[in-house]
Amino acid sequence: MSDIKFKNVSVYYQDRKRNITTAVDGVSFVFLDKKINVLIGYSGCGKTTLLNCLSGKVYYEGDIYFGDKNIKDISVQKRNIAYVSQEFVLYPNMTVYDNIAYPLKLLKLDRATCDIRIRETAEYLGIDFLLTRKPKYLSIGQQQRVAIARALVKRPDILLMDEPLSNLDKETSEEIRELIKDIVRDFNVTCIYVSHNIADCVYLADSIYVMNKGKISGIYTRNQFLDSFDPVVLDLKEGLPK
């Protein structure tokens, strides 16, 4: 895998009255390979839409490249992208084992390989003792670990995370936040992490992309971000400079 390059990418939405809204407005920038790239911004600024461009959920103008290859030339199934959201979306009638196994059905791996991968991933995330349970018997934190396991079991090149800590309590959030750093290192994956939480942003990020009204208004390292914005003028509720 290589850096992910956006070149003059725009996304437009049309409502029922045919009014056009610009969700992403001609952005050009680079997400770094094998790093945690944190995309921060107010609700509705276009963060999730950028993730959806990568995962093939929306039509966009412009170009996106994985290294030198335009992703328009790569089918969605072959982009090897996994997605974790704030809504865990586990299948309630399936066991944890079967929830984790679900993405592997599309890869058509043999049963033995699937079983090894599921158990290795569950053990890594500390949920191997939960494999026979159903989601309703799990804590919120355990459910999120299952959702992360389901994403990792396919061994993705790119991990998209959209506010994955927003529904967790402080202690569990801190545990998962540390886990995310370990995952990027141990699974050698490129992570694009959407947040509006300043603590997550500063703790996790290798690079920070501030988004506002469909545009990237600034790109910073962690230290540059802290040096650029006095904490006194940060909106801690939204996690952004005022």
Residue type, 141: G
DSSP string, 33-72: TTSEEEEE--TTSSHHHHHHHHHTSS--EEEEEETTEEGG
Residues, the chain, total?
A: 242
Per-residue pLDDT of the chain (242 residues; tens, 9 = 90+): 689 999 999 999 988 888 899 999 999 999 999 999 999 988 888 999 999 999 999 999 999 999 999 999 999 988 999 999 888 789 999 999 999 999 998 888 899 999 999 999 999 999 999 999 999 999 999 999 999 999 999 999 999 999 998 888 889 989 999 999 999 999 999 999 998 888 888 899 999 999 989 999 989 998 888 887 654 445 534 445 44
Contact present, 9 and 29 (Cβ < 8 Å): no
d(CA 36, CA 52): 18
Contact 53, 60 (CB under 8 A): yes
Strands 69-70, 158-162: pairing is: unpaired
CA nearest neighbour of 195 among 57, 47, 54: 47
Q: What is the pLDDT of residue 108?
A: 83
CA atoms of 107 and 154, how far apart (whole Å): 8
Domain boundaries, the chain: 95-154
| CA–CA distance, 71 with 158 (Å, rounded to integer) | 13
Report how far residue 236's alpha carbon sits from residue 242's, in angstroms, rounded to the nearest whole number: 10
pLDDT score for 42: 84
Amino acid, single-letter form, for residue 206: D
pLDDT of 56 reads 93
Given a contact cutoff of 8 angstroms between Cβ atoms, the answer to whether 37 and 191 are in contact is yes
Q: What is the pLDDT of residue 238?
A: 47
Question: Residues 61, 9: contact at Cβ < 8 Å?
Answer: yes
